[in-house]
Amino acid sequence: MKKKRNGCLTAGLILTGFMVALILVGFFWTPYDPTAMATGPKLDGPSLAHLLGTDGFGRDIFSRVLQGAGNTLTIALATVTMGAVCGVAVGALTGYFGGIVDEALMRLNDALTAFPSILMALVIISLLGPGKKYNVVLALGIAFIPSYARIARTAFASLREVNYVKSAQLMGVSPWRILWVHILPNTMPVLLPALTIGFNNAVLAEASMSYLSIGVTPPDASLGYMLSEAQGMLSAAPWYAAGAGGAIILLVFGVGLIGEGLQRRDRGVV
Amino acid sequence: MKYAAKRLATLLVTMLLVSLLAFLAFELISGDPAEIMLGTQATPECLAALRAEMGLDQPLMVRCLQWLMGFFSGDLGTSYHYKQPVWELIAPKMAVTLCLSAISFLLIIVVSIPLGLLSAGRSGGRGEGLRTAVNQLCMAVPAFFTGMLLSWVFGVALKWFTAGRFPDLREDFWGAVQYLFFAAVAIAIPRIAMTVRMLRSTVNSEMGKDYVRTAISRGNDRGAVLRRHVLKNAVVPVVAFLAQTLAEILAAGVVVEQVFAIPGLGRLLVASISNRDYPVVQVIVVLLAFWVVLAGTLADLIQQRIDPRLRLGGSL
């Protein structure tokens, strides 16, 4: 059978690859120093010298967007890693072993997942103290654990009954090896799209919190905080909002397409 | 009836647990309220006096009970920052947030259900790629960014409303609704995209089932089968999804209220987090949680009205 082209996945991978490459370059080199003032005329429109124009202090917006997007990317990756590792660990253990602990934890989890993760993160950040980069990661990471735990639990619980797992059990394979080698790889069709959705939620949540100035705050650069600055000068410098907003949109759009593509590949519809 | 009673009992227990959790979390982590109010320079005598006045010298259990009773008597303590009773601070803002959520929810239902049904059953073809792209793009644009653009276009450029001047709900209800409408659009767009996508996949997977093939092979019209048989079966998961949407609207509202300078709960929550005004944060968090739990319960009750299988305690 001829393999059909998965347009979603390809487009998503290309777009995300492009964005990540730009951001990686931004870690080492930006056209101007992101914090240097008066690199050109103030509130200057996009030009070859300043790809996305300059802001009210004459800072180069393209360099600032690169730096902000770098922060957003690191925070989102750290958050998803934290939420997914803890969540999948909890979900795997409770789903595979079952029992009373499973029942109790899942009841608690039902209540937690009903609560939108950004609200949860706001609550946690108000306890940890607002306006610090690591607290944002911690707050969002904790807020994401319940949803991953739930997804992983369902996947592990259903695979527990499968024949190859049962035969492995009969052969005396240790539970850890079964979880790690036999079940985990087979949960990927469910987990991978969940990771892309989680990444997007993390990007949007971080941007929202920084926009509200309780997430990442200066001197750390962040796209959300830049947008709150840009709002005041939307008439004078629309390119500021377009640059910062566009970076968020492209990042989320690309990863969203990857997620959609992965789900379709899994379902066999392309 | 028995099911409803059981569900309501669970609801009450959950609400109680949520409030207990919120109380304890803030009590244990947030530090000494008297110190927050007076600053670090305060003398021990002042601190002791204030603690006695605020009832902080009482044991934890007593204070917890008092706080819980506050939800019935309306005495929820005093804000550190505004030096006002929390309830007085919150009550008018709650009405605004409720209005905003209601408008957003209506928008989502009115737009996404017809769109979702229209796009269902029409998978494949040339429009498919474009539709997916538009759908994903709508989900990728942050609600507060759409909000910024909308408030600039309709508030600053077209002057359909005055950004930053929110009319009083009681004095000028329609003016306020008009103001809230644009914020609601910003909240609704990503959720509409998600609901359409969800409806589409639910209806499509239902359309592939045996009973649909039978109905069509017996000469029924596709549209009629969709309306008469498929919708009934597809609606159960959609109800659960919409309950989750109610909760998400609230979360998006927190940010969008800030964009449009709407004096609602979300804005107060953010300001109170920045000011470390814990009594206010605590109460708002509990109220939001109540809302979420209530929406979930409502969805369960509606679902079991629609699907008799659920009434017997079974699951799908």
Residue of A nearest to B142 (CA): A204
Helices A133-159 and A188-211 cross at an angle (nearest 10°) of 160
Contact between A214 and B273 using a beta-carbon 8 Å cutoff: yes
The number of helix segments (H) and strand segments (E) in chain B equals 14, 0
The rounded mean pLDDT for chain B is 82
Is 3.40.50.2300 the CATH classification of the domain at B86-314?
Answer: no
| Mean pLDDT across B165-188 | 83
Residue B283 at interface with chain A, using a CB cutoff of 8 Å: no
Greater confidence, B107 or B234?
B107
Task: Tell me whether residues A127 and B26 touch, CB distance under 8 A.
Answer: yes
Identify the CA nearest to B264 among candidates B99, B70, B104, B77: B99
Mean pLDDT computed over B76-82: 77
User: Could A249 and B142 be called an inter-chain contact, meaning their C-beta atoms sit closer than 8 Å?
Assistant: yes
Chain A contact for B251 (CB, 8 A cutoff): yes
CA distance A65 to A55: 11
Closest-approach residue (CA) in chain A for B260: A231
Q: Is the per-residue pLDDT at B215 higher than 80?
A: yes
In angstroms, the CA B76 to CA B238 distance is 37
> What pLDDT score was predicted for residue B126?
66
Token readout for B243 is 């309950």
Strands (E), chain B: none
- Structure-block tokens of residue A112: 């937690």
Q: Write the burial class of residue A268 (CB in 10 Å: 0-12 exposed, 13-18 middle, 19+ buried).
A: exposed
pLDDT of B238 > 70? The answer is yes
Closest Cβ–Cβ partner in A8, A111, A231 for B132: A8
Nearest residue on chain B to A210, alpha-carbon basis = B255
Q: Which residues of A touch B (CB under 8 A)?
A: 7-8, 11, 111, 114-119, 122-123, 125-127, 130-131, 200, 204, 207-208, 211-214, 227, 230-231, 234-235, 241, 245, 248-250, 252-253, 256-257, 260, 269
> Are B258 and A249 in contact (CB < 8 Å)?
no
Backbone angles phi, psi at A98, to 5 degrees: 65, -150
> Are B165 and B175 in contact, with CB atoms under 8 Å apart?
no
- Closest Cα in chain B, distance from residue A107 (Å): 10
Residue for token pair 């009434």: B311
Calculate mean pLDDT across residues B293-307. Answer: 84
Model pLDDT, residue A253: 92
B120 touches chain A (CB under 8 A): no
Question: Which pLDDT does position B197 carry in this prediction?
Answer: 87
Residues facing B85 on adjacent strands: B78
Paired with A54 in beta bridges are A60
Confidence (pLDDT) at B312: 63
Under 8 Å between Cβ of B93 and B268: yes
Q: By the 8 A CB rule, do B48 and B241 touch?
A: no
Tokens (6 digits) for B225: 């089968």
Which positions ≥6 away from B249 have C-beta within 8 Å?
Answer: B101, B104, B105, B108, B187, B191
Cα nearest neighbour of B286 on chain A: A123
Which residues of chain A make contact with B251, given a CB cutoff of 8 A? 116-119
Q: What is the CA radius of gyration of chain A?
A: 22
Mean pLDDT, residues B290-304: 85
Identify the pLDDT of residue A270.
42
B136/A260 touch (CB, cutoff 8 Å), yes or no: yes
Is the predicted pLDDT of residue B105 greater than 90, yes or no?
A: yes
- B52 phi and psi, to 5 degrees? -65, -40
Higher pLDDT, B151 or B26: B151
Of A188 and B155, more confident? A188
Q: Answer for the pair A34, A66: CB distance below 8 angstroms, yes or no.
A: yes
Contact with chain A for residue B292, Cβ under 8 A: yes
- The per-residue pLDDT for A62 is 87
pLDDT at B33: 67
CA-based nearest distance A9→chain B, Å: 12
| Interface subset of B 220-249, CB within 8 angstroms of A | 244, 247-248
Which residue in B has a C-alpha nearest to residue A256's C-alpha? B136
Q: Contact A253/B296, CB-based, under 8 Å?
A: no
Among B16, B152, B255, B258, the residue to mutate for chain A (most A Cβ within 10 A): B255
pLDDT in tens, B24-68: 877 776 666 666 666 667 777 777 777 777 666 677 777 778 778
Model pTM?
Answer: 0.86
- Domain assignments of chain B as residue spans, ordered by start: 2-73, 86-314
* Candidate from A118, A245, A256 with C-beta closest to B145: A245
Tell if the CB–CB gap between A122 and B254 is shorter than 8 Å: yes
- In three-state secondary structure terms, B59 is coil
Are A187 and A157 a contacting pair, CB within 8 Å?
A: no
At B315 the pLDDT is: 47
Share of chain B above pLDDT 90, in %: 8
Q: What is the pLDDT of residues A36-71, one digit of tens each?
A: 776 667 777 777 777 777 777 777 888 888 888 998
pLDDT per residue of chain A (270 residues) written in tens, 0 to 9 = 445 667 788 888 999 999 999 889 888 887 777 777 766 677 777 777 777 777 777 778 888 888 889 989 999 999 999 999 999 998 888 888 888 888 888 777 877 777 788 888 888 888 787 767 788 888 899 889 988 998 898 888 888 888 888 888 899 888 888 888 888 888 888 888 899 999 999 999 988 888 888 878 777 778 888 888 888 887 777 888 888 889 999 999 999 999 888 888 877 654
Q: Quick one: pLDDT at residue A4?
A: 61
pLDDT given at position A1: 41
